[in-house]
Structure 1
Amino acid sequence: MELLLSGGPVLVAILLVSLYALYLFFERLFKLSKERLDADRLMARVNSAVRERNLEMAMIACDNHGGPVARVLKAALARIPYGRPAVEAAFQEAYLGEEQRLTRGLRPLATIAQVATLLGLLGTVTGMIVAFAEISQQGTGNPAALAGGIGQALVTTAAGLIVAIPAVIGHSYLSSRVEGILLEIERRREELMGNVAQAVSTKPSPREGGYEDVRSRVGQVREVPVDETGERVRRASVVERGV
């Protein structure tokens, strides 16, 4: 308590910032530790389903696996019937969403590292101001009064560094974890797109099944006689067109 009082309000601010930094670090660490990266089995199932043109099985495999890789793959798989450009666009959109979700909290942690250092510097300045104010009032004959200001300066400087250094290390560690996850997503993307390119290059007919189902029906109009007067009316007949 005496140390806290000697640091003044600046030290209190540093302590509050340190508590927030601890919360951010452990919250992010807990979230990232729950993300599954063992995607080898997932990719084996997805690639097999894509080659067999069974999108439902591929997306069920993604749901059962979970994790950022599975979520991005599922978004891309849902667009396979619309061609490779649509798959690429869906993958990129899902990738950016995962990147934003994974990096949430990292920027505030980096900011805390900078703010803690600046607060320590602020405490140094205010402590020296107090010390010189004592000198101007009492001269140099009262070392105890002079030591109070210098002590405040040193305590806040040390506290700022004690908070900033672990915050920088924690931010670096969490950033490396996020980068590893994003690189894994990119690697699996290349693997999936190779199978997608092969699959969409040979489109089966609707009677063969698969994910290239008929997506539209068109109406074709023709003229036919319908009564004794010879008057002709329009009748629409619907024909199926394979996509």
Structure 2
Amino acid sequence: MKKLTIALFAAGLLLMGQTVYAQDSTKQTTEAVVVDSSDADMSIEEMIGNEDMAELAEMAAEDIGMHQELKNKFIEGDPRYMSLVAIVLIIGLALCIERIIYLTRSEVNTKKLLSDIEKKVESSDVEGAKTICRNTRGPVASVCYQGLMHINESAEDIERSIISYGTVLTSRLERGCSWIKLCIAIAPSLGFLGTVIGMVMAFDQIQAEGDISPTIVAEGMKVALITTIFGIIVALILQVFYNFVNSRIDRLTTQMEEGAINLMDIFAKVKAKSEK
């Protein structure tokens, strides 16, 4: 209740400040608008000045922004070919984001997980250790669960089972990466396709006009170069995301290997204690 009162009081002060500022601004605007009647017939250029008009025009041009510039280049590069590059970018980013979310959710605190499993195994509560693995997401917990399933077998059989199941989990982690690589390869290829088509358009126009004009050649060359640039940019963007995904996969694979090694050490320690 106290926090709510303070928040309402602060909001009231802010509202009062805005009201006073609005009144002052209105007053200043009214004073600035009042001019002599002799100045009423002056043009805007004469009142502002040519230099100020040039600065305003430059500021207006800058306000177009990068988004409008990209839109213009997209249209100049012929939407028929640029749309294909854009579709590849969207599909590639969707695959990358899906993999990043999946891999991020698969990461767990490996040390804590193995510590909990070790406590359960030392107290001969194998089912409790399995329950911990089932309730923990990620490939590390799955590898540990696979080892606990064969805890009564020999060390060689346990290791063989863990390695085989680890291969399956690694393939799950890499699911969709081949499609990302395909998008990386397709994007510049589509750009080069636009380049070839743009060159063909230029030569067709030269043939139709019967004369080599810089204007005719420039139009086709522009389409060619813009599509190539966008194709390479898309490939570079997807390559960065792909490398990030690969780094996450390598990290999880390393955690799986460390978890398997530590789990085998836990089994060996427990068996040594039981034999004594």
Is the pair's TM-score, using the shorter chain for normalization, greater than 0.5?
Answer: yes
1:174 corresponds to: 245
Q: 106, 130, 139: which is aligned to 1:59?
A: 130
Pair 1:144 & 2:215 matched: yes
How many residue pairs match? The answer is: 204
1:47–1:185 CA distance, 2 compared to 1 (3 A): same
The normalised TM-score by structure 2 is 0.68
Deviation at 1:201, TM superposition (A): 5.5
Pair 1:73 & 2:120 matched: no
2:108 corresponds to: 37
Show structure 2 runs of 5+ residues with no match.
1-70
Q: Secondary structure at the match of 2:152?
A: helix
Amino acid at match of 1:22: L
Deviation at 1:66, TM superposition (A): 2.4
Q: Secondary structure at the match of 1:66?
A: coil
Q: 215, 229, 246: which is aligned to 1:158?
A: 229
| Structural mapping, 1:194-213, within 5 Å | 194-200=265-271
Pair 1:83 & 2:154 matched: yes
Pair 1:122 & 2:178 matched: no
Higher strand share: 1
Q: Separation in 2 of the partners of 1:84 and 1:52?
A: 20
| Structural mapping, 1:173-192, within 5 Å | 173-192=244-263
2:87 corresponds to: 16
Amino acid at match of 2:183: I
Amino acid at match of 2:242: H
Q: Separation in 1 of the partners of 2:153 and 2:140?
A: 21
Deviation string 1:172-192 (CA, Å, 9 cap, x unpaired) is 000000110110110111111
Deviation at 1:88, TM superposition (A): 1.3
Q: Separation in 1 of the partners of 2:125 and 2:143?
A: 18
1:7 corresponds to: 78
1:8, 1:152 within 8 Å by CA — same for their partners in 2? no
2:143, 2:162 within 8 Å by CA — same for their partners in 1? yes
Q: 92, 106, 111: which is aligned to 2:182?
A: 111
Q: Separation in 1 of the partners of 2:272 and 2:196?
A: 69
Amino acid at match of 1:76: G
2:108, 2:137 within 8 Å by CA — same for their partners in 1? no
2:77, 2:227 within 8 Å by CA — same for their partners in 1? no
The normalised TM-score by structure 1 is 0.76
1:37, 1:181 within 8 Å by CA — same for their partners in 2? no
Deviation at 1:12, TM superposition (A): 2.1
Q: Separation in 2 of the partners of 1:36 and 1:174?
A: 13
Higher helix share: 2
Deviation string 1:123-181 (CA, Å, 9 cap, x unpaired) is 11111121122223324454333222111101110110121001111100000001101
Q: Separation in 2 of the partners of 1:126 and 1:169?
A: 29
Q: Separation in 2 of the partners of 1:94 and 1:170?
A: 27
Amino acid at match of 1:14: V
Percent of counterpart pairs with the same letter? 26
Q: 147, 153, 171: which is aligned to 1:100?
A: 171
1:55, 1:78 within 8 Å by CA — same for their partners in 2? no
Q: Separation in 1 of the partners of 2:205 and 2:263?
A: 72
Q: Secondary structure at the match of 1:117?
A: helix
1:135 corresponds to: 206
Q: Separation in 2 of the partners of 1:139 and 1:197?
A: 86
Show structure 1 runs of 5+ residues with no match.
205-243
Amino acid at match of 1:75: Q
Deviates more, 1:112-121 or 1:47-56: 47-56
